[in-house]
């Protein structure tokens, strides 16, 4: 493909990504993969170049653009080499017309920036969208961190994450045979800090209420040395069914998976009411802490979608609290930098649940900043995804 044809392909893919963002359709990565399947003539160099154009435009443009061309024109304004490719050549984009509309650049729409936790000031905005490194977590059930470090000598340690090993973005770590053997998982440092913050111990009864594909469930199994009774539940079948094969690969045992029917969660967890030593509520959220890796998420967040997340979080933190044994602990977490999903949600919970107290001292030294009754991790301050977490203790 010519360089101009790659730009045109990126424009068409951005059209589809912007439409999906508005309509709640497929994620950008899936759309990109599908678009490449449809362009079998594109070689690996073409693919890499188109991908770079698409993601550079997504990072640059603050909200879903009216068209892929408007997004690419914004990128062209910032990069003369790209502007020169709007040359009207065969398969390339038409020349830029005077006064043509450009998508607006920026970290996010103004209204969305206004929702950030006060700790995320303007000086942190650039880091919110900067390319993220690839963090690995050594699986203690099969390996120690130094073994993983030896496999990827280009990496480095991660402050406060004992099992963590940090690699450059886009390292093909999962293609290493040690991944198939379960020696490590790909897991951002924020999730590693959160899993450790649960303070789960051998012999405990643990509920991972929103387990998804089990990223944190597996970290908990690793930390407890397979000696805890772990229930991993979720309402999403496709996600939850990824967990058993992943657990098998990781050598993690003692994990029960339970698919919950939406609206019937409490009934389906009746056998666990008031019985868990630890409950992890890794709640569904805006994902605003993960824009470094999924920058198009900020194109998707509408006020009504945010309200839905807030209602789900409120319901799930209450549901989780009912499962905690007297004296036990609940860890509430969201990969979000939005105040209403984090500290405000926990303040609301504490106002409605007398006797519950907020813990402190569960993060490594220098990691996170106090945000109400919990802590906020941010890319700029902590070098990891944006993440809010609060550990709460049920009265005896």
In 10 A of CB 268, how many CB atoms?
A: 14
The stretch among 22-30, 39-47, 228-236, 295-303 that binds ligand SAM (CB under 6 A) is 228-236
Q: Phi and psi at residue 101, in whole multiples of 5°?
A: -70, 140
Per-residue H/E/C for 133-188? CEEEEECCCCCCHHHHHHHCCCCEEECCEEEEEEECCCCCHHHCHHHHCCCEEECC
Binding mask 238-277 for ligand SAM (x = CB under 6 A): -x--------------------x-x--x------------
Is 234 one of the annotated binding-site residues? yes
Q: How far is the CB of 255 from ligand SAM (least distance, A)?
A: 13
The one among 140, 216, 272, 329 contacting ligand SAM by CB under 6 A: 216
Residue 335: active-site member: yes
Binders of ligand SAM among residues 287 to 326 (CB under 6 A) are 312, 316
Which residue is it, tokens 């979608």?
Answer: 305
Is 261 one of the annotated binding-site residues? yes
Catalytic residue selected from 210, 335, 384, 396: 335
The one among 284, 320, 368, 372 contacting ligand SAM by CB under 6 A: 284
Binders of ligand SAM among residues 151 to 210 (CB under 6 A) are 209-210
Is 208 one of the annotated binding-site residues? no
Instruction: Say how far apart CA 328 and CA 175 lie, in whole Å.
Output: 40
Nearer to ligand SAM, 46 or 234 (CB): 234
The stretch among 12-20, 213-221, 342-350, 356-364 that binds ligand SAM (CB under 6 A) is 213-221
- Cα separations in angstroms, 229 against 97, 106, 220, 332: 64, 46, 11, 20
Contact (CB, 8 A) for 101 and 68: no
Instruction: Say how far apart CA 91 and CA 3 lie, in whole Å.
Output: 10
Task: Select from 274, 374, 280, 390 the least CA-distant residue to 327.
Answer: 274
Q: How far is the CB of 374 from ligand SAM (least distance, A)?
A: 16
- The angle, 0 to 180 degrees and rounded to 10, between the axes of the packed helices 243-250 and 215-223 is 30
Nearer to ligand SAM, 73 or 335 (CB): 335
Instruction: Say how far apart CA 50 and CA 120 lie, in whole Å.
Output: 32
Nearer to ligand SAM, 93 or 289 (CB): 289
- Which chain residues interact with ligand SAM by CB under 6 A? 209-213, 215-216, 233-236, 239, 260, 262, 265, 282, 284, 312, 316
User: What positions carry a catalytic annotation?
Assistant: 335
């Amino acid at each position: 493909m010519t360089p101009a044809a790659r730009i045109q392909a990126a424009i068409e893919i951005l059209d589809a990504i912007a439409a999906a963002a508005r309509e709640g359709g497929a994620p950008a990565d899936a759309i990109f993969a599908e678009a490449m399947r449809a362009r079998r003539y594109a070689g690996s160099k073409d693919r890499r170049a188109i991908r770079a154009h698409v993601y550079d435009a997504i990072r640059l443009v603050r909200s879903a653009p009216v068209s892929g061309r408007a997004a690419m024109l914004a990128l062209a304004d910032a990069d003369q080499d790209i502007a020169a490719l709007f040359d009207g050549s065969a398969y390339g984009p038409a020349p830029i017309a005077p006064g043509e509309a450009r998508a607006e650049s920026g970290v996010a729409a103004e209204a969305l920036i206004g929702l950030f936790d006060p700790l995320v000031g303007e000086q942190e905005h650039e880091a919110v969208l900067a390319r993220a490194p690839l963090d690995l977590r050594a699986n203690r059930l099969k390996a120690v961190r130094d073994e993983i470090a030896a496999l990827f000598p280009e990496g480095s340690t991660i402050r406060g994450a004992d099992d963590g090993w940090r690699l450059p973005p886009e390292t093909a770590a999962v293609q290493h045979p040690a991944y198939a053997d379960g020696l490590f998982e790909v897991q951002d440092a924020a999730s590693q800090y959160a899993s450790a913050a649960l303070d789960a111990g051998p012999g405990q009864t643990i509920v991972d209420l929103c387990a998804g594909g089990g990223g944190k469930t597996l970290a908990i199994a690793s930390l407890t040395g397979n000696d805890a009774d772990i229930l991993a539940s979720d309402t999403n079948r496709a996600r939850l069914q990824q967990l058993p094969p992943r657990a098998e690969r990781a050598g993690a045992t003692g994990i029960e998976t339970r698919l919950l029917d939406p609206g019937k969660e409490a009934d389906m967890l009746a056998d666990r009411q008031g019985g868990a030593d630890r409950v992890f509520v890794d709640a569904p959220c805006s994902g605003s802490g993960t824009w470094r890796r999924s920058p198009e998420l900020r194109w998707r967040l509408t006020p009504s979608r945010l309200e839905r997340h807030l209602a789900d979080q409120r319901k799930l933190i209450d549901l989780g609290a009912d499962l905690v044994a007297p004296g036990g602990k609940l860890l509430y977490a969201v990969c979000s930098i939005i105040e209403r999903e984090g500290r405000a949600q926990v303040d609301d919970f504490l106002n409605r649940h007398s006797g519950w107290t907020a813990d402190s001292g569960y993060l490594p030294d220098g990691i996170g900043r106090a945000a109400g009754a919990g802590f906020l991790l941010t890319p700029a301050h902590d070098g990891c995804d944006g993440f809010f977490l609060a550990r709460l203790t049920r009265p005896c």
